Structure 1
């Protein structure tokens, strides 16, 4: 225990001042940083430690800052951005497995960039006839890609264009001699240049003179879009549920009639084999029945299509008729109640007439009785007055 703590609790009872205090810890001495760690420097192969003069650094930053015209700076920025995206996609593919599939817009940007890079390369090369032809092909390809980029939704047209290129490469893989392509270190990418030139030649072969024209059907001379539209209309007609139901009903009726005809033919054949003398009579009866069946079918066939609407109308009318019948029954009940009320009113009138007559008779009788009583009272008064006092 420290001296200050010991003097503080020295006079308190039941405290062992001889044992060390478990709650006290020794002070940690601050260690000064070593000079070796402070002076240690990080060395890396990616960090350039070469000295560079102020003029050389200014020239490098001036070149990268854009002391050039706008088109050259934009092209340089696009090339650097494309290389950066390409390196990032390669790094992602090496780290995570297979490379991500590029979208239609990314593929269109890549083709546009490759076409522009090829034109710049051919412009920087010697003006030979082969270079001029390749520049014309690259110009046509750039126009085609610009038309695709100008569309609102280029995914469908771009997919069709790429399918045409792939089919052309599969059928005719011949291509001109590859043109060297510049790299960042001044080398040549022969494989990329050959692949790009094959694509350009295939695109020129497919869309060079007939770009933007719709495909035609060589057999009929009509457009494929018209043929597809006609086929779609026919499929819609065949897929109509009402038409399918009508066709099924007609087929069932035809099958029933065919069964009947087959039975009649069988009976006629049996009658022919049994009694040749009755052949004419049996054949005439069968023909008559056949004529009657055809007349019935022709009469009913025109009404088959109206049957669903008629059934629906009858169902609605059945509901209306049920409501009308219920209303009629209610009216009948009201009429019966009104008749009963009329009879009761007539009875009440008779009772009232009898009561009136009885009241009249009773009033006359009361009047007579009062008059007779008054006369008797008068006579009695006279008799009382005549009595002697």
Structure 2
């Protein structure tokens, strides 16, 4: 059932004219009254009605790009490429130039929903959500409802770098094959002869973290390496013991590598959640007097621009971030046809470089 201006007025205990004044900002209203009206708008999930022409055309010239951290090269690359594609396809939705706004959520579930609500109120022409999703049932349900409302109102919704939403509410999805990339990376380390491999995971309850960790452990299982709950006495045990969670920041990699060395001073390789984390791990190893890769091999993920220039050059998994961002922008503008079934899996490529080598001789 559509929520009306009168419904908001009743909830806020004010007149419809007062609600209109608050939402249009064209008349002074007491702060307490304004807060009460805006709270009612949020509670009822009210969206401003526009002229019928605007409804039919879906909307405004606004395009929202949601990122976890714009300072992270992963998100900056995708957002920059998407914004470029949006500018190139300005004649797509309704014609004319589009205003692409980058919304930095800081990884907050609440901010993610708040930005989507604000974009919904502004009748955004398109919304692009980037990066892994939070694995929380309540948040997933709320996101599904919110994205369905956006899509129903004519907003193009694109997911880039995250899995499809359950019962996908009219979204186009570009997912990275994080599992396969992580599996191939760990298989590379195993093929070099490593058996004592530490793993620095990303934040818990994120789809990207879980998928990459699943790929890593699939490679260990494929090589016959058992985890903490496996049977038999083996120095190769310890999937869980040699897994440390953290953020996608350099400091996290530094701290996690120190913790892994504390847990197993004899480990010979570290696989990191991303390239920034891998550089932090390298710094911790150097501080301990260990050489990369002569004493400990280090590998990252994403193939961020600095990876090939690191010393030694970083072994990593390449995700086509720029290409994915361009594609997301074109999907948002309607200048590229949606993939079959509205979902495309984007492959990952192993980039073997100088930071990995066979383990030191016993």
Q: So what's the TM-score if we normalise by structure 2?
A: 0.20
Q: Which has the higher contact order (CA 8 A, sep 6+)?
A: 2
TM-score (norm 1): 0.19
Higher strand fraction (1 or 2): 2
Quick check: which has more Rg, 1 or 2? 1
